Chains A and B, each alone.
Chain A
Amino acid sequence: MRSSPKSKLSHDAIKAWRVSLSIFILFLVLGLFFLWGYKLLSPEAGFFSMWTLIAITVILIVITGLGIFFIPEIRWRRWSYEVDEHEVDLQSGIFIITRTLVPIKRVQHVDTRQGPILRSYSLADVTISTAATTHRIPALNEEVADQVRDRISKFARLAEEDV
């Protein structure tokens, strides 16, 4: 593709993504433990055969490995964004690369969001809404996120709105 947008996400994004994915996977693992326990205690009952369970476990391990060690890194490398007075330009995607362009004029509102995990790394998401779509720049440094938000909203105010 043509030259990527210039700004990158915060490097801490990788850690934050790893943590949030780990938490999610923890729930799945708990569920899996429950199934295993059920299977081992009463081998005859259960809706799953042993092989299904083993397959599920293997798949979960593979997903965990990929999701924690590789995906966040690649995702971070692919993510970039750029904001100027005419447009917001985003690039993202692990397999499918998406280049999104939002004319500043169309922006209806911008906000920053922060969940507990992001907060512990002092990161924040910036969400950009138009009349039709919502776009997210994930995991920026808090200060950067505030700057980006203020910039977009300033440019949006300057641009003549018409829809």
Chain B
Amino acid sequence: MFELQRQHPAAALANAFDIIRANFITILILIFVGSGGREANFTLYWIIGTFLFLLIWGVISWYRFEFSVEEGELRIEQGVLVRKKLYLTSDRIQVIDISAGVVQRLFGLVAVEVKTAGSSSKEAKISAITREKAERLKKILRKNSEKSDDSQEAEPVSQHKIYVLDTKDLLIAASTSGRFGVALSVVGVAFSQVEQLISEEQMIRFVETIIPRSTNASMIAMSIFAVIAIAWLFSFASTIIKYYDFVVEVRENELLISRGLFERTQLTIPFNRIQAVQIKEELLRQPLGYASLVIESAGYGESEGNSTTLFPLLAKPQIYNFINEVIPDYQTEISENSTVPSVGLRRYLFRMLWISLPVILIVWGSIPYGVYSWFLLIPALLLGYQQYSDAEIARGKDTLILTFRLLSKTTAMVKKYRMQSCQVQQNPFQKRLDLSNLTVHVASGNQGRAFTVRDIGITKAMDYRTWLSNGKENNNISDDESHEPLNENFDDPDATR
């Protein structure tokens, strides 16, 4: 048992950094606003003052934070102004995450986060203790959660299958990351703000000294190129930081994922929490024959949907092997599939046309050489055609496989008994062509996630809908329940609310 104790003093620092990180944007704004018009010294005092305050706050909250394990309960007492006592029974605990951020690693410590279904997990976080203590805590809390322990103890560690992302794959993943798009928009916006910081004359002088006799057109091309390059560097770095040393360990009834360069994150995902599996073939990766695997899981007690990358980069032929070995439940023989009928093609093309037209018109009207934006139509329509030919619904024994594309192609695999609800939608235009959209919802975090395939035949859609509803008992369900003692609490709506 754990006697009543405080965390390692480094928790004070970790707390301070947590607050800074959580409010990073607010702080940035405060600094900018606070320094508006005044001399630079003032900003400096402002920053130092805030940091000191946070540090003191961190020390007090460290002092006021005590935890212990008694009678199989994790008991946490905390709170600077309001004293809070948090008692977590071990059989309610769904996930125990051990992670190490920058501060923790400086002192050779770890943070332990205990998550239960439903409740928000923020409070049950011990932000700095030694690794041995963390492991012991995990063991004790797991031990009390009934029989699951015996099997885990008995199982020799060497039996676990381990998958590691090697350096070459990490570099490929980083250079083809889908965050590129996000980074692109951020850098693009930042770039457009540059104008406001630097006066136009300065800008022109700067450009003229660097590239003498530049024309308008080459300048636009240059700046587009610069934005793209910077965005790519950002996405490259952030992917490396996130997926550095990515390891998936397959245990008897859970997956253990650990990753991260500065901040090591360890995620434990029980198999019975997996709600759906997605294969994502991102735009840049698809031509190279790579894809990534993402799983949706429930019961984390987080407000947003919960997607976790199961593996960031896999060569196409390896994917089905990987699924077979890591999540064998999702290995399915496709018994029937249906694609978009050819009358649906025009809907896909028109949709892309409607989306790209406003952009083209705005660009055409607003910047010099904007006429060339009409060339955007070509990739847009190609994308529409690609979306049309990728869209597909298939089913295996008890699995529905939905394939669709927005930019990157996604193949979502949903177990029949994991589906929360199913919708068939038809608008008047689709009605004329006997087409409809099929949407399947699965649980993910506290909210759900929806997968939609557009413009498939209405009879087919209704067919799948009926098939999904006939959720007659099958082996997998009973199988599932036999090794999920923790699940019972989650089932009962009263218990979680």
Contact = CB atoms under 8 A, between A and B. Distances in A.
A86 B428 CA distance: 30
A96 B420 contact: no
B493 A99 contact: no
Interface string B242-266: 0000000000000000000000000
B421 A86 contact: no
A87 B275 CA distance: 20
B332 to A, nearest CB: 19
Given A98-B423, A162-B477, A130 B471 contact: no
A21 B420 CA distance: 32
A137 B323 CA distance: 40
Interface string B348-371: 000000000000000000000000
Contact of B441 (A87, A97, A130, A161): A130
Interface string B429-450: 0010000000001111001111
Interface string A92-109: 010111111111011011
A63 B287 CA distance: 49
Interface in B418-477: 418-428, 431, 441-444, 447-450, 458-459, 462, 465, 468-471, 473, 477
A151 interface: no
A130 B424 CA distance: 18
Contact of A163 (B298, B425, B473, B497): B298
A109 B496 CA distance: 12
Contact of B462 (A1, A86, A160): A1
B424, B444, B481, B497 interface centre (most CB from chain A within 10 Å)? B424
Contact of A106 (B420, B425, B497): B420
Nearest to A93: B425
B298 A97 contact: no
A86 B426 CA distance: 24
Contact of A99 (B424, B427, B444, B480): B424
B417 interface: yes
A137 to B, nearest CB: 13
Contacts of B459: 2
A41 interface: no
A30 interface: no
A160 B473 contact: yes
Contacts of B480: 162
A133 B425 contact: no
Contact of B425 (A96, A105, A160, A162): A96
B491 interface: yes
A132 B442 contact: yes
Contacts of B449: 132
Interface in B217-258: none
Given A132-B420, A132-B444, A133-B420, A97 B425 contact: yes
Nearest to B275: A163
Contacts of A109: 493, 497
A45 interface: no
A131 interface: yes
B420 A131 contact: yes
Given A98-B425, A132-B447, A1 B458 contact: yes
Given A1-B458, A86-B469, A101-B421, A96 B426 contact: yes
Nearest to B416: A103
A135 B421 contact: yes
B443 A131 contact: yes
Contacts of B493: 108-109
Given A1-B458, A160-B473, A162-B477, A100 B442 contact: no
Given A103-B469, A162-B477, A95 B448 contact: no
Interface string A62-98: 0000000000000000000000001100000101111
Interface in A41-70: none
A102 to B, nearest CB: 4
A97 B421 contact: no
A106 B442 CA distance: 10
Contacts of A106: 419-421
A162 B474 CA distance: 12
Contacts of B420: 102-103, 106, 130-133, 163
Interface string B370-413: 00000000000000000000000000000000000000000000
Nearest to B487: A162
Contacts of A132: 420-421, 441-444, 447-450
B388 to A, nearest CB: 20
A161 B421 contact: no
A38 B266 CA distance: 61
Contacts of B275: 163
A110 B72 CA distance: 34
23 contacts: A1-B424, A93-B425, A95-B427, A97-B426, A97-B431, A98-B424, A99-B424, A101-B468, A102-B420, A103-B468, A105-B417, A109-B493, A130-B441, A130-B443, A130-B448, A132-B420, A132-B443, A132-B448, A133-B421, A160-B473, A160-B477, A163-B298, A163-B443
Interface of A: 1-2, 86-87, 93, 95-103, 105-106, 108-109, 130-133, 135, 160-163
Q: Which 8 A-B pairs have the closest CB atoms?
A: A132-B448, A131-B443, A132-B420, A130-B420, A96-B427, A99-B424, A132-B441, A102-B421
Given A98-B426, A130-B441, A162-B417, 9 more contacts: A2-B459, A100-B422, A101-B468, A103-B468, A131-B298, A132-B420, A162-B481, A162-B491, A163-B275
